[in-house]
Amino acid sequence: MAYREVTMIEVKEVLRQWLSGHSRKAMVKWVGLDRNTIRHYLQVAEQCGLRIADGVDALTDEKLADVLAALGAGPGRPHGEGWAICEKHREKIAGFIKDRIRLTKARKLLLRQGIDVSYPTLHRFAISELGFGKRRLTIPVADCGPGEELQIDTGRMGLLEPGEDGKRRRFKAFIFTAVLSRHRFVYPVFTEQTADSIEACEVAWEYFGGIFRVIIPDNTKAIVNIADPLDPVINITFQEYAQHRGFFIDPARVRAPQDKGRVERAVQSTRDDCFAGEKLKTLEDARRLAREWCLNEYGMHRHTRTQRMPLEHFTAEEKRVLLPAPTDAYEVPLRATPKVQRDQHASVAKAIYSFPRKFVGKTLEAVATRTTVRFYENRVLVKVHPRKPPGGRSTDPADFPAEQAALAMRDIDFLRRRAAQHGEAVGDYADAILEGPLPWTRMRRVYALLGLCRRFGSPRVQEACSNALGVGLVNVKRLGLALKNGPVPQAPVGTSRVIPLARYLRPPSQYALPMPPRGHESNDKGDNA
């Protein structure tokens, strides 16, 4: 037995012809319904108070509604044994639907439990009794005021032509749609990073001639770190950019495309209408094509909803009320979370920067621009350094004690002055240590000398340095052993000349054995060993 849906149009037409005096035979021919169906409609109409003598004028909207309601409330479609089985296992089937299990799979699961029901019956039961397949009702939200909202989304657009390496590269696009006028801007990119989103926005402001007050982006990681319907966490770099340009961010809810319906539909239409079938060699070609398409094709096509051309609509009502377009370039800062190492330095972009000792072992937040690097601890600014190139170093002497700062900064003069404070001979001994090329390679020896002054006292080290210089001994380790174990040998009385350092008493040639003449064989033992 076949069943069909009762429509308002056919019921109204049957009643209209009946009240006009047409026969049932003619109604079968004109309406296309069988005699039993027409008879059923007329019986229900009479039960609702309609009489043929009342004429067509009696068929009001209210009477028609009563008849339709009665038809719907009358004897329904008879159900068989399969329907009874579904009714018996209603909760189980409802659980499958709640868990988003396909009905084909649900039927298999039921069969495993010994419940045999045909798929058509299961499908009909799920639709009629459990609301399966019904889409949620939506209410169109009223459009905003001019220049207020701009919706943003990204999507894959296509492939560029093979490059020199023979490979084709895929590109995406940021799609901007003005909520009121539906005017559109498309900006192709290779990656969907925060820097790309800022770059796309900067070009969009130039394209629109101003800045919208609110943007509604998708929950892309380039803009939103943590998606939440109430308290989304915005990417701090993009948040700072929004603050700098003066607009607000209102992210769409997760898995709620209706929040930005203008854009969701725009992704596919842009891909199909703008880029499909195009042979593009570079990203710049794609950007040029997208701009021309937005202005000359999409912008000049009458929109179904607004019944106006987007470009004309935007120019007339939105462009003049936008926030002023930027006149200065925006620099996207580099962000990092470096850890301060034991040497009191942290690395950012392959350059190192100094910190006071209390920050050793801590992880800080760094924000680098072209000229400066700012370091934060718990969002509190703790240090500012000038930006250095990769391999560079910025060391602040104030971050270290005086001795450590001198070593870090290779301050030779500081060490000399510090040694001279313990006595003239100590200063001369430090000068002797630092004499020669690359003096900073011997700075640790001067620090060791200063350590001897603290350990044995300046007067005793002063005397030891004087004696050591007298005999040409410039060795901090031997000087320390002498101070510990015994006096340093003194120069002979009456000798005022200091023996030059690192001088040979005889030329090196006197220490070399003469080479035997070529071809001479010695008779000494071991010559042929």
- The model's confidence at residue 525, banded by pLDDT at 50, 70 and 90, is very low
- CA neighbours closer than 13 Å in the CB half-sphere of residue 16: 10
pLDDT at 436: 74
Instruction: Evaluate whether residue 304 is within a structural domain.
Output: yes
8 A C-beta contact, residue 230 and residue 246: no
The per-residue DSSP string of 8-23 comes to HHHHHHHHHHHHTT--
Model pLDDT, residue 1 = 38
pTM: 0.54
| Claim to verify: residue 88 and residue 101 sit in the same structural domain | yes
Q: In this structure, are 165 and 275 located in the same domain?
A: yes
What whole-number percentage of the chain has pLDDT above 90? 20
Q: Return the higher-pLDDT residue of 77 and 43.
A: 43
Same structural domain for residues 283 and 227?
yes
- Euclidean distance between CA atoms 289 and 129, whole angstroms: 52
The encoded tokens of residue 134 equal 């019904």
Tokens 């101003």 correspond to 210
pLDDT in tens, 465-516: 888 888 778 888 888 888 877 665 555 544 444 545 444 455 555 555 556 6
Q: Which residues pair with 351 in a beta bridge?
A: 348
Q: Which stretch of 73-77, 207-211, 478-482 has the lowest confidence by average pLDDT?
A: 73-77
Query: Do 179 and 209 share a domain, yes or no?
Result: yes
Is the domain of 13 the same as that of 55? yes
Name the helix (H) or strand (E) containing 149. Answer: strand 149-159
Paired tokens of 401: 């004690």
At 446, give phi and psi (nearest 5°): -70, -40
Percent of the chain with pLDDT over 70: 81
How far, in Å, CA of 234 to CA of 379, rounded? 16
Give the range of the structural domain holding residue 67, as residue numbers without chain letter. 8-73
Beta bridge partners of 233: 226
Residue 425 inside a domain? The answer is yes
pLDDT band of 321, cuts 50, 70, 90: very high
CA atoms within 13 A on the CB side of 365: 9
pLDDT value, residue 394? 84
Report pLDDT for 529.
38
Q: Which of 351, 370, 399 is at the close of a domain? A: 399
Instruction: Give yes or no for a contact between 90 and 122, defined as CB atoms under 8 angstroms apart.
Output: no
Query: Strand order in 365-368's β-sheet?
Result: 334-336, 365-368, 372-377, 380-386
**Cβ count near 148 (within 10 Å):** 17
More confident residue, 138 or 339: 339
In this predicted structure, what is the pLDDT of residue 422? Answer: 85
CB atoms closer than 10 angstroms to residue 68 = 17
Give dist(CA 79, CA 486) in Å, integer: 117
Evaluate whether residue 18 is within a structural domain.
yes
Mean pLDDT of 336-340: 91
CB atoms within 10 A of CB 414: 18
> Would you state the pLDDT for residue 150?
92
- Whether residue 92 sits in one domain with residue 12: no
Q: 516: exposed, middle or buried (C-beta count within 10 Å: 0-12, 13-18, 19+)?
A: exposed
Q: Specify the pLDDT at position 393.
A: 82
pLDDT at 2: 40
Beta-bridge mates of residue 171: 158
How big is the chain by its Cα radius of gyration, in Å? 45
User: Do 188 and 112 share a structural domain?
Assistant: no
- Residue 162 belongs to a domain with what CATH number? 3.30.420.10
HEC profile for 307-370? Answer: CCCHHHHHHHHCHHHCECCCCCCCCCCEEECCECCCCCEEEECCEEEECCHHHCCCECEEEECC
Q: Average per-residue pLDDT in the chain?
A: 80
Give the total number of structural domains in the chain.
5
Q: pLDDT (tens digit, 9 = 90+) per residue, 97-116?
A: 888 888 888 898 999 999 99
Co-location of 389 and 421 in the same domain: no
**In the predicted model, is pLDDT for residue 522 greater than 70?**
no
Looking at the structure, do residues 287 and 190 belong to the same domain, yes or no? yes
Same domain, 94 and 61: no
pLDDT band at 253 (very low <50, low <70, confident <90, very high): low
Q: Render pLDDT for 410-467 as a digit per residue (tens, 0 to 9).
A: 567 777 888 888 888 888 888 888 887 767 677 778 888 888 898 888 888 888 888 8
Among 374, 399, 424, identify where a domain stops.
399
C-alpha distance from residue 519 to each of 515, 516, 522 (Å)? 11, 8, 10
CA proximity to 480, closest of 453, 440, 444? 453
**Does residue 407 sit in the same domain as residue 389?**
no
The listed range with the strongest mean pLDDT (170-179, 259-268, 406-415) is: 170-179
Hey, is 183 helix, strand or coil?
Answer: coil
Three-state DSSP class for residue 247: coil
- Burial letters for 127-146: b for 16+ Cβ neighbours within 10 Å, e otherwise? eeebebeeeeeeeeeeebeb
Regarding whether 341 and 464 lie in a shared domain, the answer is no
Lowest mean pLDDT among 76-90, 274-288, 333-347, 482-496: 482-496
